[in-house]
Amino acid sequence: MTAGGIVGAIRELHAYLHAINTASVEYGYGRLEDFMQPAGFSGLVSNVIVRAVVRAAGTANPGLALNRHPNGRPDIVPRAVYPGDAVKRGSEGIEVKASRYASGWQGHNAEPGWLLIVQFDIDTKTEPVYDRTPTNVRRVMCACLDEKDWTFSGRREGSRRTPTASINATGLQKLEAGTAYARQDVRLTY
């Protein structure tokens, strides 16, 4: 995975959103960003980035593959390390998360390993809707996190909330130190 591959993946995401939104608006559904639930949209961004990174790496580094296990972790795995490039829970590879937030990223478990965060800007407030700014990637960060870089939240007795683990300050510092892409025309705010 190279900086050029990351930039290519971002361009691919922007092209994908443009194509989908053009069709979605044409058929009367509006922009995908306004139609989908926020977590679902973040998942879509993550999935597009995963596929674009693997495709970009295919030419420069054919050693990366998409994890073929449904909901497997990590999202990107080293080719031929796991049978059929599929693993439910593996220790080798890169997990990818996308978020509109500058921090406070979560997962279901406090798991060590490589993590790639894609932070994006999304305009859901400008009116009229057709004047909204297109969704743009703000920054991409990558770091190898340890269990101590996560804080596990769990859940109370009787709660139906999904247990979560949040990246803490040490994890955030590692990720920021591993910034692979940052838009120059924006100022980061927390």
CATH code for position 162: 3.40.600
**Please, where are the H alpha helices in 32-121?**
32-35, 38-60
State which residues form the domain around 44: 3-182
Q: How far is CA 13 from the centre of its chain?
A: 11
Predicted structure pTM score: 0.88
22-56 as b/e, with b when 16 or more CB fall inside 10 Å?
Answer: eebeeeeeebbbeeeeeeebbebbbebbbbbbbeb
What integer pLDDT is reported at residue 86 of this predicted model?
A: 96
Q: Is residue 17 part of a domain?
A: yes
Q: Band of the pLDDT at 59, cuts 50, 70, 90?
A: low
Query: Is residue 189 assigned to a domain?
Result: no
**127 belongs to a structural domain:** yes
Query: Is the distance from CB of 165 to CB of 109 less than 8 angstroms?
Result: yes
Q: How many domains does the chain have?
A: 1
Which of the 8 DSSP states describes residue 128?
S
Instruction: Categorise residue 145: left if φ over 0, alpha if ψ from -120 to 50, beta otherwise.
Output: beta
Tens of pLDDT, residue by residue over 99-118, are 999 888 888 777 899 999 99
Average pLDDT over residues 112-134: 91
Separation CA 73–CA 93 (nearest Å): 8
**pLDDT 10s digits, 147-157:** 999 988 777 77
Q: Is residue 188 part of a domain?
A: no
Radius of gyration over every alpha carbon of the chain, rounded to an integer in angstroms = 17
- pLDDT category, 170, cuts 50, 70, 90? very high
Beta-sheet pairing, 113-121 with 94-99: parallel
- Residues of the chain above pLDDT 70, percent: 94
Residue 187 counted as domain residue: no
Amino acid of residue 168: N
**Phi and psi at residue 140, to the nearest 5°:** -130, 130
Encoded amino acid at 112, one letter: P
The answer as to whether 190 is a domain residue is no
